[in-house]
Amino acid sequence: MTHVRRARRVTLAAGLLCASSLCTFVHAQTAPSPAPGAARPAAEKAAEPSASARDLFSRYKERLLQVRVLLASASEQSALGSGFVARDEGAQGALVVTNYHVVSSLAVEPQKYRIELRGSNERKVKAKLVAVDVVHDLAVLRTEPAADAPAWTAFELSDAPLVQGSKVYSLGNPLELGFLIAEGIYNGLVESRIYEQLLFSGALNPGMSGGPAIDEAGRVVGVNVATRRDGAMLSFLVPVRYARELLERAGQAQPRSEWRSEIARQLRAHQDFVADKLLGSGTHGAPAAAGAAVQAGFASQTLAGRTVPTLDGSLSKCWANGLTGEKLRYHRDSLDCRLHSDLFVSRSLYTGSLSLQHVVLRNDTLPTVKFLNIGADAGSLGTGGGGEVTRSECHDNYVQGAKHVYRVGICVRAYRKFEGLYDYNVQATQVDDAQERLSSSLYMRGFSFEHAQQLATLFLERLQ
């Protein structure tokens, strides 16, 4: 197999598509959308909020804020979300917690945007970004002090563990319809995630991102972050301990005019963590995962009688599929595995993910040339460009394995705005049998070149 050089900075390629699993999620905040039409009549009368929910909302609504990211040149909103006052530092301003994805456009291009906060009492104030946590999708803002302005009342952050089945109340401002409270149930930690998230059986809607989720005592237990598009009342919260840690960093942070270098540092730390999980090196200090006993790595599995490498451990999920029938002139069995490690960076960039795919094709009546052309370019990153990545550079070679001959292709492209990170695909396709063919691919997004090569080598060794 030929050595692959680092991707060159040349023309732009097609922008990154969000990974398939992430496309099933809808962040609780969205970019501007058309004005809503007439409300549809409800099929049945909505459930009345409980007395606890009504009481909590009346007591804590003054601590809620709508976060508005404004395009500086037009002074009009570009993104909306929610936030909450977590600490009042008097003349220095108040610290407000929200989601990173709410303010990501400002973090990536601070010269183009500014932030305005609006309270439930119509109080408006400007704010600055003072800390980000891309991994856990959190950000901290500091309000600009104003003369004779009233003090801020902050939420208390809970330090008590939640019990599964506990009532939790999410607050925010969805779709600019007004501040509200949504009642739900805490159902434990989300399974198969590389970082902790809380599973919340309650409604989160666009615009509620960054709002607080509180317990019956009014203490913040989590931060609204996302909901499933393909499910009902399946929402996700960031555990409050990550917000507390970020607040401590924010209190000591120095003013800065750019955030791209800090985002790049966090992305590199993330890929170090993921690579260590898979390589088993454990050399990098890692952010806390969903339990010390959680493991991930490569294992082996059988697909249509062929032994193939897969992702092992409770942090990944695999799905199998088989196609056959009278009209299909060949059989196709596939296995797709994914490590849930994607990070939102900007509207055009999700990164930090790793997935693999195996496809076994068995020919019935197709001409040999047509059969061999099926999926021939599946491992390509594309030849175009985008503002985020360079044009991809690809190399291929023929490799003799233990039992079969493979054509191994590798494609690499570099990130323009985040130095030291690459997208890296490797595909190995069996070429010595016109009746049966195994094609295996490993996809890595936002990895260092060194880690990507190590993982690709391990993948190919296990495949052979």
Long-range contacts at 71-76 (CB < 8 A, ≥ 24 apart): 71/112, 71/113, 72/111, 72/112, 72/113, 72/114, 73/112
Percent of residues, the chain, with pLDDT higher than 90: 59
Bigger pLDDT: 18 vs 308:
308
Per-domain residue ranges for the chain? Answer: 167-246, 269-463
Q: Would you call 80 helix, strand, or coil by DSSP? A: strand
Identify any residues that bridge with 359 across adjacent strands, giving them in sequence order. 334, 439
- CB of 257 closer than 8 Å to CB of 193: no
Q: Tell me the C-alpha distance between 216 and 201, whole Å.
A: 16
Cβ neighbours of residue 265 closer than 8 Å, sequence gap 6 or more: none
Q: What is the pLDDT of residues 220-259, one digit of tens each?
A: 999 999 988 777 788 999 999 999 999 999 988 888 889 9
Considering only CA atoms, which of 231, 173, 237 is closest in space to residue 205?
Answer: 173
Fold type of domain 167-246: Thrombin, subunit H (2.40.10)
Q: If you search the block for the tokens 């969805």, which residue do you land on?
A: 174
Query: What's the predicted TM-score (pTM) here?
Result: 0.83
Q: Tell me the pairing of strands 343-346 and 349-351.
A: antiparallel
Which of 6-20, 333-347, 371-385 shows the lowest mean pLDDT across its residues? 6-20
Bigger pLDDT: 386 vs 289:
386
Axis-axis angle for helices 260-279, 449-463 (nearest 10): 20
As a whole number, mean pLDDT of residues 151-164 equals: 94
Q: Tell me the C-alpha distance between 367 and 383, whole Å.
A: 29
Bigger pLDDT: 125 vs 30:
125
Q: Tell me the C-alpha distance between 61 and 207, whole Å.
A: 16
Size of the chain, expressed as the number of residues it contains: 464
Give me 138's structure tokens. Answer: 């959190």
- CB of 441 closer than 8 Å to CB of 375: no
* pLDDT value for 325: 58
* pLDDT value for 388: 87
